[in-house]
Amino acid sequence: MRWMKCLGAAVALVAVAAIAGDEELKSGLQVGDPVPAFQVVKCGGADDGVKVGQQLCYR
């Protein structure tokens, strides 16, 4: 049972070291990146002639 605790501690140490050594995580658009087209579904808002539930493509 003691060897399992040592093995678990060693695996955890290796995992933490691997994560700490990676580059900084960059999520989503970065400054200066163009915004691609994306799909939305209207769920409410202004009376703009678009029905609630209609799918729209924004560019």
In a domain, 15, yes or no: no
pLDDT value of residue 20: 64
Number of domains in the chain: 1
In a domain, 23, yes or no: no
In a domain, 40, yes or no: yes
Cα–Cα–Cα angle for 37, 26, 31, nearest 5°?
55
State the Cα–Cα distance between residues 45 and 30, nearest whole angstrom.
29
**H-helix segments, 1-59:** 2-21
In a domain, 58, yes or no: yes
In a domain, 26, yes or no: no
In a domain, 6, yes or no: no
In a domain, 12, yes or no: no
In a domain, 47, yes or no: yes
Q: What is the pLDDT of residues 10-59, one digit of tens each?
A: 777 777 666 666 678 788 999 999 999 999 999 998 889 999 999 999 88
